Amino acid sequence: MRPVALRQAGPAPEHEEAQMPPAPAPRLLLIATMPWMLSVRLAKALRAVGFEVQAVCRAGHPLRHVDRRIPTHRLGWLREEASCEAAIRDVEPDLVIPCDDPAVGILHALHRHDRSGRLCAVIEASLGDPAGFAIAEKRSALIALARSMGVRVPRSEVVQHRPRSGCALPSSFPCVLKRDQTWSGMGVRVVHSDAELQYAWSYVAGWLGALRACKAALRDRRVPTFLDFFAHDAVVELQEFVPGSPANRAIVCRAGRVMGGISVVAEQTAYPGGPASVVRIIDHPEMAQAAALLAGRLGLSGFCGFDFVISPSGQAHLIELNPRATPIVHLAIGDGTHLPSSLYREMTGTEPEIAPAQVPGDLIALFPTEWQRDPASIFLQQAHHDAPWDEPALLRSCGLTPPQPAP
């Protein structure tokens, strides 16, 4: 890991400043196993504030279509772990940033298998205390920890086997079956009656789940998405259903200390139980406090996202943790919050080279999720459409004709 300029205790004498060469920009390596646009938005935001950015991704990934080229390293179709290890050793980054859930798993595996300790150092600097890795990976372990800390969470229990009709439930129907180590709603099913339990189990852990994993592998152009379904034991949680609106708290932190955060509530999702496609920026102290408590307890570092459900009474129920970058981490909002800038200040002790443009208003249509959900969506006119208008080749690579932004 290369040395990075840190904040000095006091100003250096003028003659010393003149003789000192400029410190190298902190070098970041993004790992993107999924063709998600968030990695592009984050890479551009990080580079704009002064970071040197490289990435590990597959051929055809959106990161390879940006106008000002981002240096990329090949991600193997099957040997992802080996590809990422080679890239980290080649780049020698100051931090590694996972942009999706499989990337987190790859870094955790590299940390477990590293005998020299060279990879461990950069992974711990990037993700935080390794003692928290197992909890950060699993919904069920996180919920149990949060409950023990007094954070508001749904009632839940781990289900070891296929539920039987009439089995004890943590609450009345509806309830939710959730499988650990899945994402984008792939391992989640809402159960409305006792008769639905068998079908729901097959949906998250049985043959229907395998079919959905196959479909997801084709969608994401990632073969291991299907293989991962069989590689991990089916740890399933039966959880109380909390009515309300999905919400997210995105933070950037270092060794458990939160340096900045953004809270949003979903106004529209891509599909029921799926990712948000339109969000509204909110101020919710309970969400911010819960995220800070858990980040400190787990010793988290880097970008993270905490998912909540906000009940009609305004209470925030923690649902899960994404120990990775999420689709809103690149946004600069009206109160001056910009997570990439906060990370740059922390690592260099200086202000970013370019002040980020703030998002107008508080309603944001996320690209390309809302566009793909409904090209005629009213939100694309009413909200700030967070599309990379300066990247026409990237837009065309998505198979979409770039519309003209509103004047």
Q: Is residue 3 part of a domain?
A: no
8 A C-beta contact, residue 221 and residue 214:
no
User: Which residue pairs from 64-72 have beta carbons closer than 8 angstroms and sit at least 24 positions apart in sequence?
Assistant: 65/391, 65/393, 65/394, 65/397, 66/40, 66/391, 66/393, 66/394, 67/390, 67/391, 67/393, 67/394, 70/43
pTM of the predicted model as reported, rounded to 2 decimal places: 0.86
> Higher confidence at residue 199 or residue 2?
199
Q: Are residues 252 and 383 in the same domain?
A: yes
> Higher confidence at residue 171 or residue 368?
368
* Per-residue pLDDT, 210: 60
Q: Are residues 371 and 252 in the same domain?
A: yes
* Per-residue pLDDT, 208: 53
Please state, for a pLDDT cut of 70, what percent of the chain lies above it.
Answer: 80
Is the backbone peptide bond immediately before 368 cis, with ω within 30 degrees of 0?
yes
DSSP state for residue 356 in the 8-state scheme: P
> Higher confidence at residue 3 or residue 87?
87
Q: Assess whether pLDDT exceeds 80 at residue 298.
A: yes
- Strand partners of residue 303: 252
**What average pLDDT does range 373-401 have in this prediction?**
87
Q: Are residues 381 and 341 in the same domain?
A: yes
Q: Are residues 123 and 162 in the same domain?
A: no
Q: Assess whether pLDDT exceeds 60 at residue 346.
A: yes
First-residue to last-residue Cα distance in the chain: 45
Phi, psi of 97, deg, nearest 5: -115, 110
Q: What is the pLDDT of residues 35-45, one digit of tens each?
A: 899 999 999 99
Q: If pLDDT is split at 50, 70 and 90, which confidence band does 4 have?
A: very low
Q: Are residues 171 and 234 in the same domain?
A: yes
Calculate ∠ Cα 74-122-12, nearest 5°: 120
Choose one of 128, 143, 178: the last residue of a domain.
128
What does the alpha-carbon distance between residue 27 and residue 91 come to, in Å, rounded to a whole number? 8
What does the alpha-carbon distance between residue 280 and residue 215 come to, in Å, rounded to a whole number? 30
Structural domains in the chain (count):
3
8 A C-beta contact, residue 304 and residue 323:
yes
* Per-residue pLDDT, 266: 97
> Higher confidence at residue 297 or residue 353?
297
Q: Assess whether pLDDT exceeds 90 at residue 73.
A: yes
Lowest mean pLDDT of 49-53, 163-167, 170-174, 390-394, name the range.
163-167
Q: Which residues contact 401 (CB under 8 A, 6 or more apart)?
A: 395
**What average pLDDT does range 328-339 have in this prediction?**
96
Choose one of 225, 240, 255: the last residue of a domain.
240
Q: What is the mean pLDDT of the chain?
A: 85
Phi, psi of 5, deg, nearest 5: -60, 130
Q: Is residue 7 part of a domain?
A: no
3-class secondary structure, 70? coil
Give the domain range for residue 316.
245-397
Helices 80-91 and 118-127: crossing angle in degrees, nearest 10, is 90
**What average pLDDT does range 69-92 have in this prediction?**
93
Q: Is residue 402 part of a domain?
A: no
Is the backbone peptide bond immediately before 174 cis, with ω within 30 degrees of 0?
yes
**What average pLDDT does range 188-214 have in this prediction?**
70
Q: Are residues 208 and 268 in the same domain?
A: no
